[in-house]
Structure 1
Amino acid sequence: MSTRKSIYHLTKGIRDRLDAFIMRFSLLPDLAVFDPHVMFWVKELEQNWERIRDEAIRLGGEDIPSLGDISPDHGRIAADRRWRSFFLEGYGYQRQENRARVPVTSALIDRIPNLCTATFSVLEPGCHIPRHRGMTKAMLTYHLALHVPRDREKCWIQIEDHGQMHVHPWSAGKSILFDDTYNHEVWNNTDDTRYVLLIQVRRPCRWPARVLMDIFFTAVRYSRFVQDVRRNLDDRAVQSPLTA
């Protein structure tokens, strides 16, 4: 049994009840897509988007591994190896070797409260991420578009809302904030590469939902799902050490 299956599928029977409990105490409504500026830190990221973009672009494609190679438990949604992820932080673990290469971005994400994960997410030409949904309403997902293909109408994320799929093309320097428990699907049907800063944060909630979320995220932190990613990134860092 895969790690992804042990986390996602084996919790299927209780996920709806946990999500319902979280939403009882949520400080935000149950929406698929939000005004990103409900998060105060979004403005600062947008003001610095060009500096963040420059750091991401300088990394080069070979230094950004395919998500499916680093996290095989993402299974079918990361089967297309043209989806690449440069990890900066995840569930309390910081990738210092990566953060050292993008100091401006790292300093900015350090000012985001309740951060769960932070990566540069890269879609190479022709990449498709099939329809899927996230694991929990305890997190919200944020995209800051850094480099968008010129033909942006052919590069988009589609998010389901009340049974209808809505297309959201990225626009450089602009943000999208959404609840990834709503089905969503991604395409890059262009001959250019798309870069976004992808961040996941805890959903703002009142007590006692915050206690439940603390327990949940502690369990995720020590799960095989996260530990496998850590080990694969550690192995990659040893094989490709930074040089002065």
Structure 2
Amino acid sequence: MSLLYDLSANAVRRLYDARIDTPPVLDAARYFPDAARFAEAWPALREEALAVAARMQTIPRFHEVMPAQTPISAHDGKDWRVYILKVYGTNVDKHLATCPTLAQLLASSPDVLSATLSFLAPRKHIPRHRGPFRGVLRYQLGLSVPRDAQGQPAAVLSLDDREYRIGDGEHLLWDDTYPHEVWNHSDEMRAALLLDVRRRHMPMDMRLLSHALIASVGMVARWRGID
């Protein structure tokens, strides 16, 4: 089953790579106009995330939710915990209830397919990897990001061999099918909001394929009862 999934994922990736040629970082105003609304609300989103983080030990590690991601989640023994609020169109209602500002934004942003509060433990490293297909984009908003001795954000995203430091209230819209990895170079937890966003401006056949793939993932999420 795992081999079949890997072969399917590679075939889909090659198809999208051949048809869609955009850079690793995209213009949020064009590809995700609601990005500004999330960024403007970051102080309230930060408070909601920190309230969730106060019960950190109840939040699952990423590989506990998605065992296939164990190589990038559990390799160094340090935690990457995820508080999932939406999975490819399937709402996690009990989590949305704890984050009313975020819930309201998600309800009025139809392009958002998935939403997760991501908590990286001190000194956590997420190894180099890439996402499965370009039908979705990743939006990242810094919520509680520690700083280094030079005053820069201590959490670093290396995307296509270029470093990005996304600080408090800062955001980036990027394509996670490019190779990327993450470090938290600090002794404090880093909290960020991660959204999977439906890609705009695709050929019609690719839009139809994306719709089918997204619907199938959403069906699996509902079947598994993600919470």
Same-fold status (TM-score > 0.5)? yes
Find the residue that maps to 1:222 and give its secondary structure. Answer: helix
Q: Is it true that 1:171 corresponds to 2:167 in the alignment?
A: yes
Q: What is the alpha-carbon distance in structure 2 between the residues aligned to residue 114 and residue 148 of structure 1? A: 26
Give the C-alpha shift of residue 31 in structure 1.
Answer: 0.7
Taking a change above 3 Å as real, the CA distance of residues 185 and 41 of structure 1, as seen in their structure-2 partners, is same
Counterpart selection for 1:107 from 101, 104, 108: 104
Taking a change above 3 Å as real, the CA distance of residues 46 and 19 of structure 1, as seen in their structure-2 partners, is same
More moved, 87-96 vs 71-80: 71-80
Give the C-alpha shift of residue 78 in structure 1.
Answer: 1.4
- Determine the structure 2 residue equivalent to 1:241: none
- Determine the structure 2 residue equivalent to 1:65: 60
Whether the aligned pair in 2 keeps the contact of 1:125 and 1:191 (CA below 8 Å) is: yes
Taking a change above 3 Å as real, the CA distance of residues 231 and 6 of structure 1, as seen in their structure-2 partners, is farther
Counterpart selection for 1:55 from 48, 72, 81: 48
Give the C-alpha shift of residue 8 in structure 1.
Answer: 3.6
Give the C-alpha shift of residue 73 in structure 1.
Answer: 1.6
Aligned length: 218
Q: Is it true that 1:187 corresponds to 2:183 in the alignment?
A: yes
- Percent identical: 31
Structure 2 residue identity aligned to 1:85: V
Unaligned runs of 5+ in 2: none
Find the residue that maps to 2:204 and give its secondary structure. Answer: coil
Q: Is it true that 1:76 corresponds to 2:74 in the alignment?
A: no
Provide the aligned C-alpha RMSD in A.
1.9
Structure 2 residue identity aligned to 1:76: P
Q: What is the alpha-carbon distance in structure 1 between the residues aligned to residue 4 and residue 78 of structure 2? A: 23
Find the residue that maps to 1:137 and give its secondary structure. Answer: coil
Give the C-alpha shift of residue 153 in structure 1.
Answer: 4.7
Taking a change above 3 Å as real, the CA distance of residues 124 and 40 of structure 1, as seen in their structure-2 partners, is same
- Determine the structure 2 residue equivalent to 1:15: 13
Alignment of 1:1-244 (within 5 A): 1-2=1-2, 5-21=3-19, 23=20, 30-38=22-30, 39-59=32-52, 60=54, 61-79=56-74, 80-151=77-148, 152-160=152-160, 165-204=161-200, 205-223=202-220, 226=221, 230-231=224-225, 233=227
Give the C-alpha shift of residue 19 in structure 1.
Answer: 3.8
Q: What is the alpha-carbon distance in structure 1 between the residues aligned to residue 141 and residue 226 of structure 2? A: 26
- Determine the structure 2 residue equivalent to 1:236: none
Q: What is the alpha-carbon distance in structure 1 between the residues aligned to residue 222 and residue 103 of structure 2? A: 22
